[in-house]
Amino acid sequence: MKKTNKEPVYLRQRKRSNGLIALFLDIVRDGRRTNEYLKLYLVPERTKEDREKNRQTMQLAQSIKAQRIIEIQNGEFGFKSQFAEETRFFDYYRALVEKRRGIESLGNWGNWNCCLKHLERYEKRKDITFADITPRWVQGFRDYLEKEAYAYGCDYRKRGELKPLSQNSRQSYFNKLRACLNQAYEDRIIAHNPMRGIDGFSGEESTRMYLTIEEVKKAAQTDSDSELIKRAFLFSCLTGLRRSDILKLTWGEVQQQGNFTRIIFRQKKTKGQEYLDITPQAAEMLGTRGKSSELVFKGIPCTSTTNGIIKIWMQRAGIDKAITFHCARHTFAVMMLDLGTDIYTVSKLLGHRELTTTQIYAKVLDKNKQAAVSRIPDIFSSDKED
């Protein structure tokens, strides 16, 4: 007599009063039967779109069924007790945001917080659990970021005009959700990561605004409404330090090493330990030395106020560029390359972890390209001899 092997998991359907068909798994293990409702539903097929939607739903259900069979075969079945899928999603996400407060850069922490605001706009249910976070839900959030979300979506101030999110904002917010789900998977909140198989957003290369050496000289010779901001900005132009590292720089991190002044500090953004030798000219920007625990540039105002003062200062210097404090770091990078410093050394001076990050500046200042286009002959001149 031929022996048959029965599957331990069956995909079943049950019609509901509202016309939808609920999908669930009928699981038989050790002689005991349990049902797992997938919260997936087939719709009445009236259109081509309905049929396609049902096809994708069935495909997802079959995938879950296959995973459950693997779990049983590997002795891992028992997902209801092993995983905490009833954990409230927004509570978990907010906990991640708070955990990062004061540890990550203010900008990156702000992106986590902004992503939360967009998630709340996308999902109105405040009590959803991780059991509700399906691949379709994740895809829906991606579609929301691409088609519905607007800039300042996490800002409740009234705006004259609503603009779509930038490509880089879409990428950042979607990656925050990805990081949350990855962490939930690591914490055994979820048995399967619903982010898998869903493409994110590609980044868009932003414009690196910087000052030329001549423009830096102009700025240095022009009065600013804040001497402190002027010194800090020029110091960044001459060292490449980020604003966040300049704000927390103490005199104890400034040491004299022979003819050079050396700054020994840990980058706030990357947490990397850095040893940076600076020129006497940059050392002058530090001002009068104080106690080891004192801040070197104490009293620098918030970013918006700082950039407002820099804007007026640049206008006064006759520089018609949209310059912010961070542009000083770009200025240092481009200036180093312009002076012939090799890209590897520039990367080390900037504290970059990856050389590809520094190569962006090589694109900004590519003298080989400039030399190539300069060899194009004058098409309006005549080659005929008089």
Integer Cα distance of 306 and 324 in angstroms: 8
Integer Cα distance of 53 and 39 in angstroms: 15
Integer Cα distance of 21 and 10 in angstroms: 16
Give me the phi and psi of 7, to 5 degrees please. Answer: -70, 145
Helices (H), the chain: 48-73, 79-82, 89-100, 106-122, 135-147, 167-186, 213-220, 227-239, 243-247, 280-284, 303-316, 327-338, 343-350, 355-364, 367-374
- Token readout for 8 is 């331990």
Task: Provide CATH code, domain 213-371.
Answer: 1.10.443.10
Over its length of 386 residues, how does the chain's per-residue pLDDT go in tens digits?
Answer: 444 457 788 899 998 888 899 998 888 877 777 788 888 899 999 998 899 889 988 888 888 888 777 777 766 555 444 668 888 999 999 988 888 776 666 677 788 989 999 999 999 998 899 989 999 999 999 999 998 888 765 554 455 567 888 888 889 999 999 999 999 988 888 888 898 888 888 765 566 788 988 999 999 999 999 999 999 999 999 988 889 889 999 999 999 877 788 888 888 777 778 888 888 899 999 999 999 999 999 999 988 899 999 999 999 999 999 999 989 988 888 888 888 888 778 777 787 766 666 666 666 665 555 555 666 666 666 655 54
3 state DSSP class of 323 = coil
Integer Cα distance of 224 and 360 in angstroms: 30
pTM, two decimal places: 0.53
What are the extents of the domains in the chain? 9-82, 89-186, 213-371
Integer Cα distance of 201 and 167 in angstroms: 7
What is the phi-psi region of residue 254: left when phi exceeds 0, alpha when psi lies from -120 to 50, beta otherwise? Answer: beta
Helix/strand/coil percentages in the chain, nearest 5: 45, 15, 40
Q: Which of 310, 308, 326, 332 is nearest to 247 (CA)?
A: 326
Query: CB under 8 Å to 81, separation ≥6 — which residues?
Result: none
Q: How many CA atoms lie within 13 A of 142 on its CB side?
A: 18
Check: CB of residue 138 under 8 Å from CB of residue 164: no
Integer Cα distance of 59 and 52 in angstroms: 11
Query: CB under 8 Å to 289, separation ≥6 — which residues?
Result: 251, 254
Give me the phi and psi of 224, to 5 degrees please. Answer: -115, 155
